[in-house]
Amino acid sequence: MTSPATSPSKILAVADASNTQIALKTAAALAATHGATLEIVACFEPPHDLTLLSRVAGRTPDKLLDEAMERTRDMISTRIAQVMRTPTPLSSFLIGKAYREIIGHVAASGCDFVVKAVEPLSAVDRFLFASTDQHLLRACPCPVWLQTPTAPHRPKRVMAAIDLDMSDAAEPETLMALNRRVLDAACAIADGPDAQIIVLHGWDAPAEGFLWAFSGQGDAQRRDQQYVNAILDARQREMDRFLAEIRAANSTSPPLVPVLPRGAAEAVIQEQSAALKVDVVVMGTVARTGLSGMFIGNTAENIINSLECPILAVKPDGFVSPLLRN
C-alpha cells in the first residue's frame, strides 16, 4: 500500500465471530503499512424479545443477557487470537445498536478509518430496512471499508469512481474535493509494486437525438454526433486535469488508469468493476445536492446494493454525522 497525501492514523476494525476475520486482517495490514494505530471492537445487540427468551430459558433477563455477552466476547477474542501475531485484546465490547455504537466509538476515539465485514442480506431484507452497513455508509464520518469474506486483504486493482460533471453539481467545489478524497483513499489501500488504480467516470449525452428528431436541417445527424463528441472531449479534459493534480500531489501513487465508459453511473460502475476484476470500489456516498442535502444519494445506494465486490465509501470534507449533531 502506498502513502497518499493523507494516510489513516487510527484504524478501527470491527471484529466478528467468523472464521475468515477478513475485516481484522485487512485493518491490520492497512495499519502496518501506514504505521497507524489499530483498535479492535466487537458489537453485541441485545435481542428485542429478551423478556420472552428469558422466560422460555427459565433465567432472568439480566442473567441470560450476561451469559450471551460473555459467550460472544469469548468467541470473538478467540478468533482475534487466531489472526493476530501478538496478543491483541479487544479495545471495546460495544453493546447496543451496532451502527450507533461504532459511530460513537469513532467520534470518541478519533479513529479515521473503519474496516468491517459485509453484512449478508437477502434481496428482500435489503429493501425492507436499513442494515448496519447501510447506516454506516450514510452516517459514519470517516471512510468505511466493507469487505467480503473472500476478498484479498491487500488489494491490487482498485477502482476509484469519480464524478466530473461539474455542470450539474449544486456545489462544484464540494464535489471536486470529494473526488480528491476518493483518489486519496484509493491510493491508501492499493497494495504492492504492481498495484493499479482505475479511475472511472461514467458520462452520457442526454440530449442526443434532439437535433435529429426535431430539426429539419439535413446535417442534424452530424451535429448530433458533434454534441456527443463535445461532451466526451470535455470530460476527457477534466479527467486529464484531475489526474495531473493528483500525480503532482502524490508522486508515489500507483499508476492511475483513466476509464471513461458511456452510460449511467449505476450501470458502468457495476459493469466495469466486474469486467476489470477489481478488488474494491472506492466511491463518495454523499448526494450531488451537497452537504445540505441527503447523506447518501439514491445512485450511490443502488450501486452499493448491486456490487459483488468490496466497497470503500468516502465522505466529503466537513461532513458531520447526523448522529453526532447537537
Predicted confidence at residue 300, as pLDDT, reads 67
Beta strand pairing status for 196-200 and 157-161?
parallel
Predicted confidence at residue 119, as pLDDT, reads 84
Evaluate whether the domain defined by 10-314 bears CATH number 3.40.50.12370. yes
Q: Does pLDDT of 124 surpass 90?
A: no
Under a CB-based contact definition with an 8 Å cutoff, are residues 109 and 39 in contact?
A: yes
Under a CB-based contact definition with an 8 Å cutoff, are residues 284 and 314 in contact?
A: yes
Segment 103-118 mean pLDDT? 96
Predicted confidence at residue 212, as pLDDT, reads 63
- Specify which of 58-67, 199-208, 255-264, 300-309 reaches the highest per-range mean pLDDT: 255-264
Is pTM beyond 0.85? Reply is: yes
SS3 211: helix
Give the pLDDT band (50/70/90) at residue 320: confident
Q: Where are the domains of the chain?
A: 10-314
Q: Does pLDDT of 252 surpass 60?
A: yes
Segment 288-317 mean pLDDT? 67
Instruction: Write the pLDDT tens digit of every residue in 147-158.
Output: 999 999 999 999
Mean pLDDT of the chain: 85
Per the structure block, which three cell numbers stand in for 16? 466478528
Q: Does pLDDT of 313 surpass 60?
A: yes
Q: Does pLDDT of 5 surpass 80?
A: no
Q: Does pLDDT of 276 surpass 50?
A: yes
Segment 112-137 mean pLDDT? 76
Give the pLDDT band (50/70/90) at residue 28: very high
* Residue count (the chain): 326
262 or 53, higher pLDDT: 262
169 or 151, higher pLDDT: 151
Segment 152-172 mean pLDDT? 86
Q: Does pLDDT of 125 surpass 60?
A: no
Over pLDDT 90: what percentage of the chain?
A: 51
Segment 10-29 mean pLDDT? 95
Closest among 122, 260, 252, 138 to 203, alpha carbons compared: 260
Segment 128-135 mean pLDDT? 74
CA 34, 24, 199, 99 torsion-angle sign? negative
Predicted confidence at residue 91, as pLDDT, reads 92
Segment 206-210 mean pLDDT? 70
Helix (H) or strand (E) holding 234: helix 220-249
The secondary structure of 240-279 as a DSSP string is HHHHHHHHHH-TTSPPEEEE--BS-HHHHHHHHHHHTT-S
Give the pLDDT band (50/70/90) at residue 240: very high
Predicted confidence at residue 289, as pLDDT, reads 42
Taking CA atoms, 16 is separated from 24, 32, 93, 167, 226, in Å, by 9, 21, 11, 44, 55
Name the least confident of 24-38, 50-64, 98-112.
50-64
Give the pLDDT band (50/70/90) at residue 290: very low
Predicted confidence at residue 288, as pLDDT, reads 44
Rounded CA gap, 172 and 276, in Å?
A: 29
Predicted confidence at residue 47, as pLDDT, reads 84
The residue type of 22 is I
